[in-house]
Structure 1
């Protein structure tokens, strides 16, 4: 297994290996070590490399990719953060489009979308976490798409432990099309639908009874006095290729107003985000969080168990107080061994 997972192995200088030894890698010395290139093991090794890059399964309806949880993708408890998971979901979705053969020159856009200066924008996403992977764990992510009404697309994801195949995260999202220049929403052109329909899969990752369909209400000024953080400024590196703030960046700003004792003692087990409008680098934001329910008691191991804590969140423009993102999060006590 280790031979398949590693392309290079490190050997001490007094090794008697017959393989050719090198004292540097890309012109840099390896401290008293030699890097020895391991020979490819044939089809198994090639299959592993392919899976790391991503591949289609189930007749090209489902796209699968493997990720390892790295040291800079974990939080203080050595587990992957919600932002890390969201980045993985976004990366898998973009690679799905690129690998499908219909990708254009836009950020996840198809060829026909690029010709018409159209881009995808997510309007709502829900992520349910059964447990968070730890540093060094390997996960596999499956993603697929389906129609959502007349002018939308639904994208779902399932995250599994790569070796045990245990499902640890489920996610679902809704996307619409926007004109890149006018920044106005657009109907899906017939030519774009023709590109997408061959990849549609009638399958849901989040069961209907577990899907968060409740309206996310706007918080009023009377409700916002408890926890509010102003002066949140997007940086240049927070912008994505579509020239607006990357969706994942909003999560960090939302968590700015969650009590520190909650972050320390609870895991976020569900997050629903509703994106109301774009945010540019010139905007200043306010983050607001209020508790909506508190239910502490017996719970089972299903993902739809009652949360110990629930919060409602809102990010709004600081100047005119127009809401940019509305959100709801659910939290459970962290397990002692986690």
Structure 2
């Protein structure tokens, strides 16, 4: 594995937590992205440099494994490393440690570069990735695919995309998809279960004013753990898919 490792200390804020005082997965991913963005800025290839070239990073996939979620006021260390890239995709890992050095969360991610005007993926320029000192590899890293929503057992909620749901890339912020997906679960379930693993795939952009449908179905695996399958769509377009393996806390 190659690539410069960057790390950052972070103290969990109350607004980053849910009612159980554990950090939410959407907030954790936001903080991780901030850390990777800080590394890019310090290496001279931050968002402004990309914007001058008419480019921006987009996230395609996350693979999340949680040992335990950090809690309110806890101090954690987040490390990130660009691990490899090919002509279209860049791969980056994140890890979260507590003050005793215990691994709490691991996230593997897939990024791509998008032409802001054309709204299309473009080849990765060598000069953009060179500062990370990561290896070029023709090999595609295939992350697990999310479980599909069971059409016969699904339920759904609808949401109108608001101004505060969109970000500087002019589309819905990635964390909003996760919040919409999890909002299909009731309070009792969310306060008595924790995420063990999560597989996320972003398919198509969602924009301001669109009506989205957040769909869910659930099943049990061979260990009797609950697995929820999620899909967010606009009209007949699938925009986001995810599956979550949950563990009971009570």
TM surpasses 0.5: yes
Shift, 1:216, TM fit = 3.3
TM-score, scaled relative to structure 2: 0.89
For residues 193 and 219 of structure 2, the distance between their equivalents in structure 1, rounded to whole angstroms, comes to 16
Quick one: higher RCO (CA 8 Å, sep 6+), 1 or 2? Answer: 2
Do residues 149 (structure 1) and 86 (structure 2) align?
yes
- How far 1:328 moved relative to its partner? 0.8
Match of 1:80 among 19, 23, 28: 23
Contact 1:155 1:174 in 2 (8 A): yes
Q: Structure 2 vs 1, CA of residues 212 and 253 (structure 1 numbering), >3 Å: closer, same or farther?
A: farther
Per-residue deviation at 1:155?
Answer: 1.1
State the Cα RMSD in Å: 2.2
Q: Per the alignment, in what secondary structure is the counterpart of residue 170 of structure 2?
A: coil
In structure 2, the residue matched to 1:227 is 155
Structure 2 counterpart of 1:246, from 160, 173, 176: 173
Secondary structure in structure 2 of the residue aligned to 1:248: helix
Secondary structure in structure 2 of the residue aligned to 1:92: helix
User: 1:218, CA displacement in angstroms?
Assistant: 5.2
Structure 2 unaligned blocks of 5 or more? 136-140
CA distance in 2, matches of 1:200, 1:128: 26
Aligned to 1:194: 127
User: Are the aligned partners of 1:147 and 1:200 in contact in 2 as well (CA < 8 Å)?
Assistant: no
SS of 2:42's equivalent? helix
Rounded to whole Å, the distance in 2 between the matches of 1:183 and 1:195 is: 19
TM-score, scaled relative to structure 1 = 0.67
Q: Is the 8 A contact 1:124 1:273 kept in 2?
A: yes
Q: How does 1:1-338 map to 2 (within 5 A)?
A: 61-105=4-48, 111=49, 113-161=50-98, 163-188=99-124, 192-201=125-134, 213-216=143-146, 219=149, 222-223=151-152, 225-230=153-158, 232-296=159-223, 308-317=225-234, 320-334=235-249
> How far apart in 1 are the matches of 2:43 and 2:200?
27
Q: CA deviation at 1:194?
A: 2.6
Q: Number of residues paired by the alignment?
A: 244
SS at match of 1:241: coil
